[in-house]
Chains A and B, each alone.
Chain A
């Protein structure tokens, strides 16, 4: 060994200040998310779509849709932002397999699990914060036109904040499910296909079967369970907001646990 600055004396592992910790992996994933253009593009697009649709709905309201829940009405755009955020979730996990970045990530963090959980945590924080802010802003902006109609409401009215936050939670958890699907399938097109097919389309198809049992089961599918979350008043034929939130959390947790187990077992 020389005294060159490049050479450290072989230290006892515990003496080195450098060590992989959960907070450091979180920081790394936070850094990774924000240093890609695709993140900014999908997030800005998601927010812009909700706001634009909300303004359109508010400014063109003529009283015809009076039976529709006001929060659901101004947040119709979330159906579009949902796709953006689901795609971002899939990019966060499956995207690393497309270019091999996953090998660098797992070489740096060979325990592997923390990489997936950190991705999920960072994504959840960003998606929920963005959705909540977007929902509140969109609601307030739409109210500029809705004042004086039967859809005039303020943030402090009963159930409004809950529905705005519920909508953000639903979008976030559904996108987290997409993130987990991306981790399970390790392919961006595969993840998008699985999310659209299994989460958005399949339950609609199954739901047409004339069986009561099927109707009950379909209520607990992720997209269906989220129905009442973004609404001030409960939506007919769906589970309650509380049950829906719990159902979505269980779906996301189950898929993430499965993805984590496979991540640790599979070759990269």
Chain B
């Protein structure tokens, strides 16, 4: 369980820039929580504060009930992958992990296990200098898994990965969550989160925009319009008219109806023997909904109401 309360980070003295602004959220175990926001929204800063690397200007955050630094064996509590590489390129993958393992007294077998899990066993003796971006990410994940932590915090883990690597991380995160772990994973790609995450925390300009489930986010932010094609479009328009319903038409016989659902439209049409050639609920793409949400925050700096209650 991760808790952030009133988390705020400001940089600079006289003319401070607010990177994270009064951010409060909870990340629960057993699900993958996507941490979304455009570049510069404050995701990495928030994650660094969770890990005690940056000190918050105000507010507090806890992982497993305590501040990160208060854990006696932090690597068994939290495994983290930071966006910027945190590996000395001159050391081999094995020795990098072994150096981290020594701080907690993890046995060599743990290092070998995570190397195998991340598919790095064959290159463990090679210096990280020669690693591809994907291998570097895998090594970062291996380090995160080293202490079998109950919480994973991963900053843009799919960045620069090939499709196979993306799929691997996606399955890994889901498996970790299914085992009861808390998984917080940041991304600026809604499409990736839609297939990986169950829960979403969306921020823009350091402020919370939405704290919701993927499903509800789609439903609430989707346009919810229904496309109808009928030879009796005008008659149908009259029948469906109501205070909450707006009907527009782009082409003769084609209607775009908002404020009601396909079931009601179909039933109404059937009751009046109106033939329908097409009755299609239009779901807005997740990417579009995400851009609509964050676009406003970026452009005007005004937070929208969270999509969830």
A residues lining the B interface (CB < 8 Å): 1-2, 4, 6-8, 10, 13-14, 16-21, 24-25, 27-28, 31-32, 35-38, 95-96, 99-104, 106-111, 265, 267-268
Contact = CB atoms under 8 A, between A and B. Distances in A.
B88 A28 contact: no
Contact of A111 (B53, B69, B96, B100): B69
A107 B51 contact: yes
B117 to A, nearest CB: 9
Contacts of A109: 103
Contacts of A101: 86-88
A27 B86 CA distance: 20
A25 B105 CA distance: 9
Interface string B50-80: 0111110000000000001101111110001
Contacts of B99: 28, 31-32, 35
B90 A38 contact: yes
Contacts of B82: 100, 103
Given A25-B102, A103-B53, A104-B87, 20 more contacts: A6-B148, A6-B179, A7-B179, A19-B72, A19-B73, A19-B104, A20-B72, A20-B103, A21-B105, A32-B88, A35-B99, A36-B90, A99-B85, A103-B84, A104-B96, A104-B143, A107-B53, A107-B75, A267-B53, A268-B53
A107 B146 CA distance: 13
Nearest to B54: A267
A20 B74 contact: yes
B88 A2 contact: no
B180 interface: yes
A1 B82 CA distance: 27
Contact of B103 (A16, A25, A37): A25
Chain B binding surface, main DSSP class:
loop
B95 interface: yes
Given A6-B179, A17-B105, A99 B87 contact: yes
B206 interface: no
Most A Cβ at <10 Å: residue of B73, B96, B180: B73
B169 interface: no
Given A31-B102, A38-B90, A101-B86, A107 B74 contact: yes
A20 B92 contact: no
A18 B179 contact: no
Contact of A13 (B53, B72, B103, B148): B72
B73 A106 contact: no
Contacts of B80: 107
13 contacts: A2-B179, A8-B76, A10-B150, A19-B105, A20-B103, A31-B99, A32-B99, A99-B89, A104-B143, A107-B53, A107-B80, A267-B53, A267-B54
B104 A104 contact: no
A263 to B, nearest CB: 12
Nearest to B178: A2
A13 B84 CA distance: 30
Interface string B230-255: 00000000000000000000000000
Given A7-B180, A36-B91, A20 B104 contact: yes
Contacts of B87: 99-101, 104
A20 B73 contact: yes
A267 B103 contact: no
Interface in B247-289: none
Given A35-B99, A104-B86, A18 B76 contact: yes
Given A1-B179, A24-B105, A27-B102, A32 B76 contact: no
Nearest to A30: B102
B180 A95 contact: no
A20 B100 CA distance: 11
B106 interface: yes
Nearest to B144: A107
B219 interface: no
B203 to A, nearest CB: 19
Contacts of A4: 179
Contacts of A28: 99-100, 102-103
A13 B99 CA distance: 22
Contacts of B74: 20, 107-108, 110
Nearest to B91: A35
Contacts of A110: 51-52, 68-69, 71, 74
A180 to B, nearest CB: 20
Given A16-B73, A25-B103, A28-B99, A96 B90 contact: no
B165 to A, nearest CB: 20
B71 A24 contact: no
